[in-house]
Structures are given as C-alpha cells and as structure tokens.
Amino acid sequence: MGKVESLSFHVLTLQKKVEENKKGSKEKAVWEIRSSAFKEGGFIPKKFTADGENISPPLSWSQPPKGTKSIALIVEDPDAPIGIFTHWIIYNIPPAIRELPAGIPKKRVLKSIGGAKQGKNDFGKIGYGGPSPPPGPPHRYIFKIYALKETLDLSPGVRRGEFLKAIQNKQIKVATLMGKYGR
C-alpha cells in the first residue's frame, strides 16, 4: 500500500469513527422533564398545591428515546410522615406528545391526551392531588417520567403498587424533576 493509499485509508477510518461517535451520542442523549412553573429543585408555586388551585403544573419533556411506545408519569413525596405519598399517576401517554398543560382534568381517561389513563393518588382520588405537607420543613416532590417499550394493560384508577409492578422490565429511560413545597 502506498503512502497516498495509506493516508486515504486512515482518513476514511477516522471519518467513520467520527460518524459512529455522532450517532452514538445522539442515541445516548439525555431525556429530560421540565416545568415552566418551577425549576429543578425550586419551589412549586402555591397555585399547583392543595393550598392554591390544586391543579397539575405544566410539564414538558424532550424527545423520548427510540422504541418508546408510551409514556408514564408518577409524582411522589418521599418526605411524607407515612412514607412515600403518591400525588399523581398518569400513563399510556402517546410518545408523540411532548407536554402536559397545567390543569389536567381529573378524569379516568383523557381523550385529549390520546386516551391516556390516570390512577388514584394517595388522597384516594383520580388524577393530580397537589402538595399538602404538614407544617415544618419543605417536602420534595419527585416528578418521574418513564419511556416505556409498550402501553400498559391497566384499568384507570390503579394505585402505586400495581403501577410500579406493571412498568417493571418495560422501562427504556427515566427522567426526574424535583420541586419543593412547605408550609
């Protein structure tokens, strides 16, 4: 192999590696969830709590990973005196949807969100139940979104345990957003 051929071979090999790295970095891109109402680690505005209008905050997320068939979300308070307290379960969100506006209706099935279903929160109600901590230090509220490789065969109104069992081995990627609220 001559010097020119050898150099051409090395240039082509280097170009191929660069393309593979670009492709790999796109596939490994971070999946994020955010809210226009509060920042990561920030305080959740009163409007979205039991002390305010008790409506769900606006949420949006980046493009889900390849192979996502549905999206699910759970909101939990890990600081509750009784242990983890569930504030919201919503699942079977179509992967083409990239946001939930503020004030999602408290209905079992949401036709406006592609037939997404909602579970029961620990207040015993369907849909979102805003932060309602006892007086004291602020609690953390974890908004955890899942990219799933299939839709969930669950009836509306499921509780946390059944939901978590159903998503086992179906998760492609998980993203979280944490907000705080205290009284």
Residues 6+ apart with CB under 8 A from 30: 62, 175
Q: Which CATH class is domain 31-181?
A: alpha beta
Cα separations (Å) of 48 from 30, 51, 90, 104?
27, 8, 17, 11
Q: Residue 11: its pLDDT value, please?
A: 43
Domain ranges of the chain: 1-29, 31-181
The predicted model scores a pTM of: 0.85
DSSP, res 65: P
Neighbouring residues of 18: CB distance < 8 A, sequence distance ≥ 6:
none
Q: What is the pLDDT of residue 79?
A: 98
Q: What is the pLDDT of residue 1?
A: 55
- Sheet of strand 59-61, all strands in order from the earlier edge strand to the far edge: 33-34, 59-61, 99-100
What is the pLDDT at residue 28? 58
60 in Cβ contact with 98 (< 8 Å): yes
pLDDT of residue 29: 76
Q: Are residues 178 and 100 in contact, defined by beta-carbon separation less than 8 angstroms?
A: no
Instruction: Look at the block and give the residue holding tokens 């307290």.
Output: 85
Q: What is the pLDDT of residue 3?
A: 56
Query: Which of 76, 55, 32, 65 minimizes the C-alpha distance to 149?
Result: 65
Ranges under pLDDT 50 in the chain: 4, 6-14, 18, 24-25
pLDDT at 76: 99
Element (H, E) at 161: helix 160-167
Tokens 């004030």 belong to 103
Provide the mean pLDDT of the chain. 91
